[in-house]
Structure 1
Amino acid sequence: MTPPPYQPESFFDRVNAWLRTSTMIKLAVVGVLVLILLIPTFMLENLIREREATRTEAIREVSEKWGGTQTVSGPILSVPYLIHTKGVDGKEETSTAYAHVLPDNLAITGTLQPEQRNRGLFQVMLYNTRLTIKGSIPRPSPERLGIAPADMQWDKAFVSLGVTDMKGIKDQVDLRVDGKALAVEPGIPTTDVLESGVSARVPIADSITFDCALNINGSSDLYFMPFGKQTTVSLTSPWTTPSFVGASLPDGRTMTNKGFTANWKVLQYNRNYPQQGVGAFLSRQIGNNPDNRESVAANTSFGVRLLLPVDEYQKTMRSAKYGVMFIIITFTAFFFVEILNKQRIHPIQYLLVGFAVCLFYLLLLAISEHITFNIAYGISAAVTLAMISSYVRYVFKNGRLTILFSSVLALLYGFFFSLLQLEDYALLLGSLGLALILGIIMYLTRNVNWYRAYEGA
């Protein structure tokens, strides 16, 4: 039989053969696929932020009706005084300003009762607190403040107590000065020091002693202002996962599975503002605009935040940030199966496995909104592993390689789960893990001739 006539290999045949057998070209293709998979990865991160924003909006809506983050300030004593100036026509004009004095000592004790509410899928952390506030306030010194004693309007003096969100006040505010109950009214005659709260007219002696009972609702955070020469706060609560926030940490705290007790002690030397002043003496001007001011005292507040045991969005976002690394490691394993087993894998097969890896993070986000994060992670990892293992069984056509590859993926999911749990040691553990992976790759490929990697395939 006469053999068919020889036909020279076409240019396109040579190019196609070169593309199929070139290691560098395959690496470049894999790199392009990784870049393509960055798109769904970034989309997943945006979806997580969107769901977190939805939860924040749900918290805001519930807080608006219950009471927002509360800051308790004072009480402080304010006395109006007259200011005499001359107008453009030379006539004397009189206006009113206020002298303010902060407490000598301020002692606050109370209980914090947490309450969880659900808005759709989202949990909102609320609380009710009952506070007892005691202390004493001295009579302001006109001479020290540069005010003529005759200009002081002692008969119009008042005591004010700052409460950030007035909607949270649940009962009549019981304020006593020198043992006598005062008629407490909403609002403060001047916003020099406090933006919102309650106030009461008070007779002035050399000094006054006060005690106040306050019952308020709030959301998530409760803060106190250290307005006393010595401010002490003692707070107890059955909540087991508090976070102590603000400018001062508790001097003593006890946390058990039944709740916490925390005690603060803050001195006037721990803050940078005086005990008495005139006008907005706790604010400072910013720039050249006199109306643009910021509170000097705002950065001295301290208190407690009631943390939810698990923030699933924060952990899911941290998981998604490892997504690119997970895809690269998975593709690297695919690539070395090609090299070591002479088993070509098409770029489309790389891409399908990459999409399955991305699907893990979407499953994790969706499931963690309904159950605990750790269980959601396990379910998502199991579903993804089952999907990829079933697929690569037909790609590799080798049971041993399928088991090995699936085991590597399972170890990777376990490794990244460990990184999420060990937040403080995540960098150390991650660096050691990557060093181990690189060492294993170098060992397995030590005898590979990369110039002839695909020969015999």
Structure 2
Amino acid sequence: MNNQQSTVEKVNGWVKNSVGLKLITITILMLLLLIPASMIKSIISERENMNQSVLNEVSQKWAGKQQINGPVLCIPLVYEYAIEDEKADTKIITKTKHLYLLPEQLSINGKIEPEKLKRGIYEVVVYRSALNISGNYKLNLKLDTEGLKEIKYDKAFLTVGISDLRGIEDEIVMNWGKQKLNIQPGSKLSDMISSGVSIDLPNIKDQIDQSIDFSFQLNLQGSQNLSFIPLGSTTEVDLQSSWSSPSFNGNFIPDNREVSDSGFTANWKVLQLNRNYPQTWVNKNMYKAMQYSALGVDLIMPLDDYQKSMRSAKYAAMTIALIFLIFFLVEILNGRKIHPFQYALVGLALCLFYILLISISEHSNFNIAYLISASLTSLMILLYAKSVFKSNKFTGVLSATVLGIYGFLFVTLQLADYALLMGSIGLALILGITMYFTRNINWYKLNMETE
């Protein structure tokens, strides 16, 4: 019986005092704690998807992304062809084609006023825009005259593409030369412009080989994005807004732009040589080429709370490893035994930080949520560690480490463009400090004795 107790005591002592076994146990605990950390990431993704669904719902009721395409001038052409059938009889076939003309000059001046709408706890950015669109056409017709029977000048029309017609706030009046023309809903060029408005032009026969000015004002609301197709031989777009976080997209970036806390201004200049479609063509679908030449701006949230929370959760493994490292070094340097269950409680407290962060940030400013979550978690860990360490010195070291970790993480989240640089420098410093404080430990001769 004594031999059995002696064996059990030896095993218990080995389990309690073995550095290698303790490292293995801590590693297993860290791996197990990655499970709740992964679940936290799933929760953040779920909440972010809910936010996106609210954004889509509000966009459906307000107006979605807006793209302005046009105006495109279309003139019907009637051709006649003589064709012989199998009996050598000649038949006359009449075919209608369409001549498409783009503006010589196209100028767009716009002001975008963003608004924030709330649905429950979620916030969505939408906008109202006032766009002044003007330019001119040079009606120089260069046509294939073979078989051309008639040019229907009296059936010419303009089409302006507007991707979401629900966003039109006021009546649109087209100034064509000295005439004011009414606009009709619907696109007459459905293959190239799926959604838009059309304008029937008066007989333009007398205006051939002349330059015709046009202009109209478009008050348009939308959400997330506003873009344009540069149809002019020379297209100039000038936008200004009070939104301080634009993302310029499309195939062309602004020639000049200024972004500040008070908003942004941007202007583009695009020549016909910069895009892959001509100024005039007959019976061709230029939809893909036109879409490829789009330019515009997204009104984005600077770095929304869900993105910040997800990025912070990606540092969960590093945070747990560093805190466990401090606890382990206390065991080595102070000879204080810490049970694996105590490690587990500290790890769960660290995981709780991320749940607090995402839940509080949905109801307040992210920075405030971060301060509250980090303070509660740090206080919980430090009070618990003080009773475990029985040493003010090592509790102070842990306090500095915890505050350093959360401070470093906060700075990293704010500097989105330098996150990788900050992270790599931080890890290098942590590794260097750990190597410094453990440089004199003889791990082969280390014998953890019970108190």
TM-score (norm 2): 0.91
Alignment of 1:90-239 (within 5 A): 94=94, 96-139=96-139, 141=141, 143=143, 148-150=147-149, 152-202=151-201, 203-204=203-204, 205-206=207-208, 207=210, 208-239=212-243
Deviation at 1:451, TM superposition (A): 3.0
Aligned residue for 1:150, secondary structure, equals: strand
Q: 1:288 matched to which residue of 2?
A: none
Amino acid in structure 1 at the alignment position of 2:298:
R
Q: Which of 334, 344, 351 is the equivalent residue of 1:358?
A: 351
Deviation at 1:196, TM superposition (A): 0.6
1:72 aligns with 2:71: no
CA deviation vs aligned residue, 1:123-159 (integer Å, no higher than 9, x gap): 1111111111111223374536x87432543332210
State whether residues 78 and 100 of structure 1, in contact with CA within 8 Å, keep that contact through their aligned partners in structure 2: yes
1:327 aligns with 2:283: no
Deviation at 1:334, TM superposition (A): 1.3
Deviation at 1:408, TM superposition (A): 0.9
1:450 aligns with 2:449: no
Deviation at 1:161, TM superposition (A): 0.5
CA deviation vs aligned residue, 1:45-102 (integer Å, no higher than 9, x gap): 1111111111111111111121111111111111233466879989766554433221
State whether residues 79 and 147 of structure 2, in contact with CA within 8 Å, keep that contact through their aligned partners in structure 1: no
From the superposition, tell whether residues 56 and 95 of structure 1 become closer, same or farther in structure 2 (CA, over 3 Å).
farther
1:302 aligns with 2:302: no
From the superposition, tell whether residues 165 and 10 of structure 1 become closer, same or farther in structure 2 (CA, over 3 Å).
same
State whether residues 271 and 300 of structure 1, in contact with CA within 8 Å, keep that contact through their aligned partners in structure 2: yes
State whether residues 79 and 157 of structure 1, in contact with CA within 8 Å, keep that contact through their aligned partners in structure 2: yes
Q: 1:242 matched to which residue of 2?
A: 246
1:437 aligns with 2:436: no
Aligned residue for 1:182, secondary structure, equals: strand
1:271 aligns with 2:275: yes
Deviation at 1:231, TM superposition (A): 0.5
CA deviation vs aligned residue, 1:149-197 (integer Å, no higher than 9, x gap): 3254333221000101000011111112112112210111222321110
d(CA) in 1 for partners of 2:84 and 2:441?
A: 95
Aligned residue for 1:37, secondary structure, equals: helix
Unaligned runs of 5+ in 2: none
From the superposition, tell whether residues 221 and 88 of structure 1 become closer, same or farther in structure 2 (CA, over 3 Å).
farther
TM-score (norm 1): 0.89
Q: 2:380 matched to which residue of 1?
A: 387
Aligned residues: 441
d(CA) in 2 for partners of 1:196 and 1:319?
A: 42
State whether residues 100 and 140 of structure 1, in contact with CA within 8 Å, keep that contact through their aligned partners in structure 2: no
From the superposition, tell whether residues 437 and 309 of structure 1 become closer, same or farther in structure 2 (CA, over 3 Å).
closer
Amino acid in structure 2 at the alignment position of 1:252:
N
d(CA) in 2 for partners of 1:446 and 1:36?
A: 29
Amino acid in structure 1 at the alignment position of 2:197:
V
d(CA) in 2 for partners of 1:171 and 1:229?
A: 29
